[in-house]
Amino acid sequence: MTSNRTGMRIILMGPPGAGKGTQAKVIANHFGIPAISTGDIFRANVAGKTELGVEAQRYMDAGEYVPDEITNAMVRDRLAQPDAEPGFLLDGYPRTLAQVEELDGMLADGHPVNAVVVLTADSEELIARLLQRAQIEGRADDTEEVIRRRQEVYTEQTAPLIEVYAGRGLVVEIDGMGEIDAVTHRIFDALESQAG
Ligand code: AMP
């Protein structure tokens, strides 16, 4: 797989703290596509005190998912932007079965998703990582209680999506533990053999 390959549509999944954001930027950069993080868009709206941000914040602060209608509408708008035309990487979307259905509808243009990269990691290790990040970044959703709730919500609502995408032959499971560069290599190797 070469970096000038066009039309890449990638979904990146994994539990909170598995390093999705970091890997998303590297992969997207490699393929020349935007990394679209719903968490980042929500956080920007919270910071900007927009209507969307005010609505989303109470869910985020509790470690719960923002309602599907709000999230879906936001992603629909984002994917309609011209920079998403040649492809995109979705970081943190879809996270519920209803979002999968909605995304299927948005992508019903003959260019389905190429790959769903799932980062796997030990949940206690992730909780430790997130607590450390909380100290550095001071995110409101990084208290221990909320961190644990976010892991639960992932297991309950998002982990089942892996089976749905596996049924479509799209899942590439990657061990997300270890050095950032090592994980990046695993992802590129796996994407290449999947494409090959
Ligand atoms: P993240 O940075 O991706 O972990 O997202 C931070 C928070 O934003 C999540 O805990 C949710 O409250 C909210 N969020 C992000 N993406 C979604 C989504 N696809 N569906 C619902 N809520 C989301």
Q: Which domains does the chain have, with CATH numbers?
A: 8-36+88-195 (3.40.50.300)
Q: pLDDT digits over 84-139, tens only?
A: 999 999 999 999 999 999 999 999 877 889 999 999 999 899 999 888 888 888 76
Assess whether pLDDT exceeds 70 at residue 68. yes
DSSP string, 94-121: --SHHHHHHHHHHTTTS----EEEEEE-
Q: How is the chain split among helix, strand and coil, in percent rounded to 5?
A: 60, 10, 30
Q: Quick one: pLDDT at residue 1?
A: 44
- Classify the C-alpha dihedral 23-90-160-113 as positive or negative: negative
> Helix (H, G, I), strand (E, B), or coil: what is residue 91?
strand
Q: How far apart are the first and last CA of the chain?
A: 7
Tokens 């980042």 correspond to 40
The pTM (predicted TM-score) of the whole model is 0.92
Q: What is the pLDDT of residues 53-67, one digit of tens each?
A: 999 999 999 999 999
The conformational region for residue 14 under phi > 0 = left, psi -120 to 50 = alpha, else beta, is left
Q: For residue 161, report the distance from its CA to the centre of ligand 1, in Å.
A: 15
pLDDT of residue 109: 79
What was the pLDDT predicted at 4? 41
Q: What three-state secondary structure class fits 36?
A: strand
Q: Name the residue at shortest CA distance from atom 14 of ligand 1.
A: 39
Whole-number Å distance, alpha carbon 39 to ligand 1 midpoint, is: 5
**Ligand 1 contact, 154 CB (< 6 A):** no
